[in-house]
Chain A
Amino acid sequence: MASQTLQSVPAEFTPGRQEISAEEAARHEAEGQAYFDRVMAEDSRIEPRDWMPAGYRKTLIRQVSQHAHSEIIGMQPEANWISRAPSLKRKAILMAKVQDEAGHGLYLYSAAETLGQPRDQMMQDLMDGKAKYSSIFNYPARTWADMGAIGWMVDGAAIANQVPLCRASFGPYGRAMVRVCKEESFHQRQGFEILLELSHGTPEQKQMAQEAVNRWYAPALMMFGPPDDDSPNSKQSMAWNIKRFSNDELRNRFVGMMMEQVKVLELTLPDKDIRFNEETKKWEHGPLDWDEFHEVLKGRGPCNAQRLERRREAHENGTWVREAAAAYARKQAEKESAA
């Protein structure tokens, strides 16, 4: 860990900091950069109070807050089935899962806050449409089988993405990922179990399962981001030890996992071109509709407007509650200091 003098946290976080001369500031910058470079070379960890390049901080704030937003918006398609879950056990599991996602969101917002970005600001950016979240949550959860497909494929893709992030160079993010991944692997198993039950159930249930897999397959593959030759930020993220594998590498690995598991489900993936390339020793898949991906990203997906409106509505309906809690806390603090 860097010494306390090598801080680059915003000024409001270090109110007692003394004024320093320009030369001294430049020297701190240089020392900070040297320390940062050493940490990167050693593949060690940067902690919130360490010096870090402005771009590194900005990239992480964007990535971690987007991740948090994805957890929060991702609650909605699944919350859509809580009231109609077809058994009480499934209802309980689904409630617990959606609740876990709120927990992940909170945890990740906290990690992002250590970089100097307040949670209220991040929330505001989300509601204003300035911040992104994973595009896949802009697709509707039409049937119960979608609860299975989301758990198995969407959470499965998230795990494939996030397991390497457990080693991300920024400490709070990496540690958050360890915990998140543990819960996500439960989520994936429960999704798989839902599909397994459906695919071995009545013909209608099996059809429901197959249709859900068909609908979620391509969006799940696109969760890994654009192809490597169209992913401008990846290189820098890899140099900063945030990202460990390229989008296509992770996507191919994921396709291989799905191919094995879909056999157990006795379902099929809607892609005739999946094959294992003996030369490269990698899995390959058919073409994906990246135009659709970019359209959804720009806000023109099936549920973009609905998801954001629901978040705004919850936030606005809760304003008076948050104000009450703040006022009450203030009054209590005044009472205590007067006593």
Chain B
Amino acid sequence: MSTSPETTTEAGGHGDISVGVATAGTSGDATASATRITPGNALRPEDIALAVSRGTAKPTEDVAEFALRLGDDALILAQRLGHWISRAPELEEDIALGNIALDQLGHARSFLSYAGGALGEDGTAKSEDDLAYFRSEDEFRSIELFEQPNGDFAVTIARQFVVSYYQFELYSRLTKSTDATLAGIAAKAVKEVDYHRDHSAQWVLRLALGTDESRRKMIHGFKVIWPYVDELFRDDELTARLAAAGAAVEPSSLRADFDRLTGEVLAEAELDVPQVPAALGGGRRGKHSEHLGYMLAEMQVLARQHPGASW
């Protein structure tokens, strides 16, 4: 395992954690590849955990709560997507969905490691694993969309399509966050999410324009997923404060670009935006659908059987 990222963080402190921000959105350079992580530049969850434990990266309470939200979104989605590995329609999709799951898990680990820096009641930082394995359902802050069951491949693609376009808009803007760590995580994540957009958009086209059966299933997939879209774009007091501080943006400000870009793909796929009532939602306040409890029971079972153990 390379040790260079730690030394970078150690030498430069907080400032270096945002390395890669300057190159986000550019292409053709060594750091622009989402699949080939350059060891010297990639921001790893371990780097963030180290910076947090040394106090060189410390989120404000608001930023920590926000990082927890995004970390939970990504973690719950990774948990869902991981189920496809060894069950996908083609070997190539075992690999692709596995890749997306891994990317999401990586983002989750970074966000949660950072969020842990402000949450300790005893004054110590919480680890990503403390947060992932030892919180209960009502302490999770993920939006309901992410916990929606995989369904068939079309439902998974519909969910991934919405998520990828949403995350791309969000992370693009977060690269300019006044919080250097959030900006650093977003800079790495946005490049990966760009691939996720491409993957899901291609499948939307294939399924919608492929056979009658696949078209029927794609339409059904969007119908199942669309009630959970609105919750992504709801503002609240936290996002208002973060937006005012320049640390984040109001979710509602992403909606126009999301609608425009997803609309282009849907139009090419000859699909209409589903006209379905939006679900009430409440994930950001810990009010989840019935699905999350089962997911957490499975995810946390082993860790909770051996509290305090190291793996």
Chain B residues within an 8 Å CB radius of A201: 309-311
- Is A328 part of the contact surface with B, judged by Cβ < 8 Å? yes
Identify the stretch in B24-32, B208-216, B231-239 within 8 Å (CB) of chain A at 4 or more residues. Answer: B208-216
Chain B residues within an 8 Å CB radius of A198: 311
Inter-chain contact B85/A144, CB cutoff 8 Å: no
Inter-chain contact A310/B87, CB cutoff 8 Å: yes
Inter-chain contact A88/B298, CB cutoff 8 Å: no
Please give the number of chain B residues whose Cβ is less than 8 angstroms from any Cβ of chain A in the complex: 50
- Is A79 part of the contact surface with B, judged by Cβ < 8 Å? yes
- Is B121 part of the contact surface with A, judged by Cβ < 8 Å? no
Q: Mark A309-339, 1 if CB is under 8 A from B, else 0.
A: 0100110011111111111100100000000
Inter-chain contact A320/B90, CB cutoff 8 Å: no
Determine the residue in chain B with the shortest Cβ distance to A81. B302
Most interface-central of A87, A99, A324 (chain B CB within 10 A): A324
Determine the residue in chain B with the shortest Cβ distance to A143. B302
- Is B106 part of the contact surface with A, judged by Cβ < 8 Å? yes
Chain B residues within an 8 Å CB radius of A314: 86-89
State the CA gap A103–B102 with chains docked (Å).
15
Inter-chain contact A86/B306, CB cutoff 8 Å: yes
Most interface-central of B83, B86, B128, B152 (chain A CB within 10 A): B86
Rounded to whole Å, the gap between the CB of B241 and the closest CB of chain A is 28
- Is A252 part of the contact surface with B, judged by Cβ < 8 Å? no
State the CA gap A291–B91 with chains docked (Å).
34
Inter-chain contact B302/A84, CB cutoff 8 Å: yes
Identify the stretch in B8-16, B92-100, B158-166, B186-194 within 8 Å (CB) of chain A at 4 or more residues. Answer: B92-100
State the CA gap A89–B127 with chains docked (Å).
12
- Is B181 part of the contact surface with A, judged by Cβ < 8 Å? no
With contacts A84-B299, A204-B306 known, is A99 near B79, CB below 8 A?
A: no
Chain A residues within an 8 Å CB radius of B298: 83-84
Chain B 34-83 residues near chain A, CB threshold 8 A: 45, 75, 78-79, 82-83
- Is A178 part of the contact surface with B, judged by Cβ < 8 Å? no
- Is B153 part of the contact surface with A, judged by Cβ < 8 Å? yes
- Number of interchain pairs (Cβ within 8 Å): 144
Identify the stretch in A6-14, A90-98, A223-231, A266-274 within 8 Å (CB) of chain B at 4 or more residues. Answer: A90-98
Rounded to whole Å, the gap between the CB of B199 and the closest CB of chain A is 13
Inter-chain contact B83/A331, CB cutoff 8 Å: no
- Is A121 part of the contact surface with B, judged by Cβ < 8 Å? no
Inter-chain contact B108/A95, CB cutoff 8 Å: no
Inter-chain contact B86/A75, CB cutoff 8 Å: yes
Tell me if A's interface is mostly helix, strand, loop or mixed. helix
Inter-chain contact B152/A317, CB cutoff 8 Å: yes
Inter-chain contact B90/A318, CB cutoff 8 Å: yes
Inter-chain contact B79/A83, CB cutoff 8 Å: yes
Contact of A92 among B94, B105, B207, B211 (CB under 8 A): B105
State the CA gap A90–B310 with chains docked (Å).
11
- Is B138 part of the contact surface with A, judged by Cβ < 8 Å? no
Most interface-central of A75, A88, A102, A103 (chain B CB within 10 A): A88
- Is A106 part of the contact surface with B, judged by Cβ < 8 Å? yes
Rounded to whole Å, the gap between the CB of B200 and the closest CB of chain A is 13
State the CA gap A198–B112 with chains docked (Å).
25
Chain B residues within an 8 Å CB radius of A105: 91
State the CA gap A313–B209 with chains docked (Å).
25
Inter-chain contact B311/A197, CB cutoff 8 Å: yes
Contact of B85 among A88, A99, A202, A321 (CB under 8 A): A99
State the CA gap A138–B167 with chains docked (Å).
40
Determine the residue in chain B with the shortest Cβ distance to A331. B209
Most interface-central of A72, A82, A98, A317 (chain B CB within 10 A): A82
Inter-chain contact A87/B311, CB cutoff 8 Å: yes
- Is A59 part of the contact surface with B, judged by Cβ < 8 Å? no
Inter-chain contact B302/A98, CB cutoff 8 Å: no
Q: Mark B236-269, 1 if CB is under 8 A from A, else 0.
A: 0000000000000000000000000000000000
State the CA gap A318–B102 with chains docked (Å).
22
Inter-chain contact B86/A76, CB cutoff 8 Å: yes
Rounded to whole Å, the gap between the CB of A44 and the closest CB of chain B is 32
Chain B residues within an 8 Å CB radius of A323: 210-211, 213-214
State the CA gap A79–B83 with chains docked (Å).
8
Inter-chain contact A102/B214, CB cutoff 8 Å: no
Inter-chain contact B214/A92, CB cutoff 8 Å: no
Chain A residues within an 8 Å CB radius of B209: 328, 331
Chain A residues within an 8 Å CB radius of B152: 317
With contacts A92-B105, A95-B98 known, is A84 near B213, CB below 8 A?
A: no
- Is B280 part of the contact surface with A, judged by Cβ < 8 Å? no
With contacts A72-B91, A197-B310, A324-B210 known, is A102 near B85, CB below 8 A?
A: yes
State the CA gap A85–B299 with chains docked (Å).
7
State the CA gap A95–B108 with chains docked (Å).
15
Q: Mark A34-55, 1 if CB is under 8 A from B, else 0.
A: 0000000000000000000000
- Is B224 part of the contact surface with A, judged by Cβ < 8 Å? no
Inter-chain contact B98/A320, CB cutoff 8 Å: no
State the CA gap A332–B47 with chains docked (Å).
46
State the CA gap A321–B93 with chains docked (Å).
11
Determine the residue in chain A with the shortest Cβ distance to B82. A82
Determine the residue in chain B with the shortest Cβ distance to A194. B311
Chain B residues within an 8 Å CB radius of A319: 89
- Is B205 part of the contact surface with A, judged by Cβ < 8 Å? yes
Sample of 15 more A-B contacts, CB < 8 Å, known A323-B210, A323-B213: A85-B302, A86-B311, A88-B45, A88-B75, A88-B108, A89-B109, A89-B311, A95-B101, A99-B95, A102-B98, A201-B310, A314-B86, A321-B90, A321-B207, A327-B214
Provide 22 A-B residue pairs closer than 8 Å at the C-beta atoms, listed in order of the A residue.
A83-B299, A88-B129, A90-B311, A92-B102, A96-B98, A98-B85, A99-B95, A102-B91, A144-B302, A310-B86, A314-B86, A314-B89, A318-B89, A318-B90, A320-B213, A320-B214, A322-B90, A324-B207, A324-B210, A324-B214, A327-B211, A328-B209
When A and B form their complex, which 3 residue pairs have the shortest distance between CB atoms, in order from nearest?
A318-B89, A324-B210, A324-B214
